[in-house]
């Protein structure tokens, strides 16, 4: 491990490891599965953040009154304004995946924090489990959303 007190700033005489590394260099490395879980944790979180008004709209329309509830359900069939119903369903499916991936990956984080499970093996096997659980549930709920059962 590099001695922190000996590290210099970029203008110093002693270069720090990786100082001249650019993103294009990092792209040559294969991202491990745990890394894919990590970046998708971030992507799914951002997706839910930007779709927050749509989420609150769904909450508003679904609980406010029976009339608004009908508007909520018909949005997924007839659409809203110029947005067709299947597009609303696709957005809802994206939210379902984002929620499931974010939640499962988050529970994985909590488990690692609580039990200090930080081995390379656990990192990989729990990443596999995260994908299996979140994708399986997304497929089941997606099939229900699109009326396949």
Partner 1 sequence: MAVNYGSKRIVVGAHYGLRDWLSQRITAVVMALFTLALLLQFIFGGPVGYDSWAGIFSRQWMKVLTFIVIVSLAWHAWVGMRDVWMDYLKPVGLRLLAQVATIAWLVGCAGWAVQVLWRL
User: CA of 13: how far to CAs of 1, 19, 20, 32, 136, in Å?
Assistant: 19, 12, 14, 34, 53
By CB under 8 A, the count of residues binding partner 1 is 27
Instruction: Mention every residue, 6+ apart, whose C-beta is less than 8 A from residue 60.
Output: 68
Instruction: Choose which of 19, 36, 39, 49 interacts with partner 1 (CB under 8 A).
Output: 49
Determine, following the binding rule CB under 8 A, whether residue 31 of this chain makes contact with partner 1.
Answer: no
Q: How far apart are CA 41 and CA 104, in angstroms?
A: 9
Determine, following the binding rule CB under 8 A, whether residue 129 of this chain makes contact with partner 1.
Answer: no
Which among 34, 44, 1, 39 is positioned nearest to 112, based on CA atoms? 34
Q: How far apart are CA 115 and CA 9, in angstroms?
A: 36
Determine, following the binding rule CB under 8 A, whether residue 74 of this chain makes contact with partner 1.
Answer: no
Determine, following the binding rule CB under 8 A, whether residue 140 of this chain makes contact with partner 1.
Answer: no
Determine, following the binding rule CB under 8 A, whether residue 5 of this chain makes contact with partner 1.
Answer: yes
Cβ-based nearer residue to partner 1, 11 or 82: 11
**Interface residues toward partner 1, by CB under 8 A:** 4-5, 7-9, 42, 45-46, 48-49, 52-53, 55-56, 59-60, 62-64, 66, 69, 103, 106-107, 109-110, 113
């Amino acid at each position: 491990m590099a001695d922190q007190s000996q590290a210099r700033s970029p203008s110093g005489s002693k270069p720090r490891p990786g100082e001249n590394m650019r993103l294009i260099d990092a792209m040559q490395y294969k991202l491990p599965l745990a890394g894919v879980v990590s970046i998708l944790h971030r992507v799914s979180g951002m997706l839910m953040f930007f779709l927050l008004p749509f989420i609150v709209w769904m909450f508003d329309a679904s609980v406010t009154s029976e009339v608004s509830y009908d508007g909520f359900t018909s949005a997924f069939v007839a659409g809203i304004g110029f947005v067709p119903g299947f597009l609303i369903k696709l957005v809802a499916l994206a939210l379902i995946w984002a929620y499931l991936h974010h939640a499962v990956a988050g529970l994985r984080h909590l488990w690692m924090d609580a039990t200090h499970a930080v081995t390379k093996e656990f990192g990989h096997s729990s990443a596999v489990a995260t994908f299996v659980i979140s994708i399986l549930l997304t497929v089941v709920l997606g099939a229900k959303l699109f009326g396949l059962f």
